[in-house]
Amino acid sequence: MRVLIVDDSIVYRMAISQALENVPGIVVVGSVSNGQLAVEKIRQDPTIDVVTLDMEMPVMDGMQAIEEIRKFNKKIIVIVFSSITMKGAEKTIEALNKGANDFVTKEEATGGSSLSIDGSLQMISKSLLPKINAFSKVIGKSRATGLTGTGGTIGSASPSSMGASSGSFMDQMPIAPKLILLGCSTGGPEALTNLVKGINRKCTVPILAVQHMPPLFTKKLADMLDALTPHIHVKEAEAGETVQPGVMYIAPGDYHMKITREGKLVMDQGEKVSFVRPSATVLFDSAYRNYEQQMLCLTLTGMGDDGAAAIKNLLEKKTYIYAQDEQTSVVWGMPGAVVRAYPDTRLLPLESISGLLNSVFERI
């Protein structure tokens, strides 16, 4: 896998290079200091697989670079670096909407100064390397099958999932769900955008969603999704509110979200589950314990196995279990883990998932 590093900070360029240079299968093909140089390099070398892209740079910033790159290259994996600030969150959500595949947050030293190379190496090893490793599998699959799969071009649907209709969905769900549970991670913002844009019926049930993101980022994601359709209201969840039909509640960054028997939302900062907080497993388990009506559980693209540990409990409640298929997932970690926990999980390509939800809304 061939990686281009783009950052105006020489410290970060050196740190990323050092972190990647000894990783088997990864070749750093170069490092440049602004987006314009990156665009030129990618034009000259179409074999580059991944670009790590800073957002704040002179000459051409990260946002402009993404727009230019996507004009001629839909395939390259773009991972942006973002500051953990309100402005950084806004720009990151916009970058994901314009074609970035994922992001990592830049940690800063005390007083806002840049980290040392050692500190940067630790941050990169913790945050960037797992994402690059996950995307390496996507790149390998793309080369083997000829699918694009990322960068705004969704892979082909599996033959068994093509042509799914409202009727066929309802054949699988004799009792209409009264609550939808949703979990996603890497590739999730793009998947959620696709899902929300495809909703063309008035949402008639509450949707509780976990997307792995830091604080501030989940609020900006919810705001962006809310503007995409008049048929559903998307918001960052707040502690103590009672869930309402027609609303998608996104768990706030760094907080587990649970539902009580009274239908209220509870947030806490308990131990991370599957290395994440918020955790889909925590949400799903609270619904298993406290929600008595029919549920539908949907797992979208994501790294890791969050959510899978709760599937057997949800099956005791006869919950309908769906997951995004491997062909259209950026990373088939979370959906794959659900399938391993429950081999009869119903798989759908991304473009059919909003149809599933529309069919649910028509039944209420």
CB 199 within 8 A of CB 351: no
pLDDT of the residue at 145: 53
| pLDDT of amino acid 135 | 86
Segment 115-141 shows an average pLDDT of 75
Tokens 């996603």 -> residue: 184
**Number of domains composing the chain:** 2
Distance, C-alpha 355 to centroid of its chain: 20
Q: Is 81 helix (H, G, I), strand (E, B) or coil?
A: strand
Query: What CATH number is associated with residue 136?
Result: 3.40.50.2300
Greatest Cα-to-Cα distance within the chain, rounded to the nearest angstrom: 59
**Contact (CB, 8 A) for 264 and 241:** yes
Q: Are residues 173 and 299 in the same domain?
A: yes
- Considering the domain architecture, whether residues 95 and 211 belong to the same structural domain is answered as no
**Residue 334 within any structural domain of the chain:** yes
Catalytic residue among 9, 136, 142, 185: 185
Structural domain contains residue 151:
no
Catalytic residue among 54, 61, 226, 306: 306
Residue 147, pLDDT above cutoff 70: no
CA dihedral of 294, 330, 137, 327, whole degrees rounded to 10: 70
- 156 part of the active site: no
| pLDDT band per the 50, 70, 90 thresholds, residue 84 | confident
Question: What are the phi and psi torsion angles at 152 (to 5°)?
Answer: 90, -5
Encode pLDDT of 184-208 as tens digits: 999 999 999 999 999 999 999 999 9
- Verify that 131 and 204 share a domain, yes or no: no
**124 shares a domain with 243:** no
Q: Which of 145, 178, 207 is the last residue of a domain?
A: 145
Last residue of a domain, one of 145, 178, 210: 145
Whether residues 320 and 192 share a domain: the answer is yes
CA dihedral 223, 229, 235, 236 (to 10 degrees): -60
Are residues 319 and 269 part of one domain? yes
| Residue 178 DSSP code | S
Residue 67 lies in a domain: yes
Asked whether residue 64 is assigned to any structural domain, the reply reads yes
* Residue 185 contacts residue 334 (beta carbons within 8 Å): yes
Q: Is there a catalytic annotation at residue 256?
A: no
Over the stretch 150-176, which tens digit does the pLDDT of each residue have?
443 323 333 333 345 555 676 788 899
* CATH number for position 180: 3.40.50.180
Question: What is the Cα 260 distance to its own chain's centre?
Answer: 26
**DSSP structure class, residue 111:** G
Query: Is 306 a known active-site residue?
Result: yes
Q: Give backbone dihedrals phi and psi of 234, rounded to 5 degrees, phi first.
A: -110, 130
Give the global pTM.
0.88
- 219-236 pLDDT, tens digit per residue, is 999 999 999 999 999 999
Q: Sheet holding 179-184: strands in order across?
A: 233-236, 247-250, 207-211, 179-184, 295-299, 320-324, 346-348
Q: Does residue 152 lie in a domain region? A: no
Task: Quote the domain boundaries for residue 34.
Answer: 2-145
Handedness of CA 195, 104, 28, 140 (dihedral sign): negative
From the number of C-beta atoms within 10 Å of its C-beta (0-12, 13-18, 19+), residue 266 rates as middle
What are 276-334's pLDDT values in tens digits? 999 999 999 999 999 999 999 999 999 999 999 999 999 999 999 999 999 999 999 99
The answer as to whether 154 is a domain residue is no
Residue that terminates a domain, selected from 100, 116, 145:
145
Q: What is the pLDDT of residue 245?
A: 98
Q: Considering the domain boundaries, does residue 150 fall inside one?
A: no
349 phi and psi angles, rounded to 5 deg:
-70, 155
Considering the domain architecture, whether residues 247 and 331 belong to the same structural domain is answered as yes
Q: Are residues 346 and 291 in the same domain?
A: yes
Q: Do 183 and 241 sit in the same domain of this protein?
A: yes
208, 169: one domain: yes
Task: Say yes or no: 136 and 181 in one domain.
Answer: no
My answer on whether 297 and 163 are in the same domain is yes
What are the two backbone dihedrals, phi and then psi, of residue 203, each rounded to the nearest 5 degrees? -65, 130
In whole angstroms, how large is the CA radius of gyration of the chain? 20
Identify the active-site residue in 7, 61, 212, 329: 212
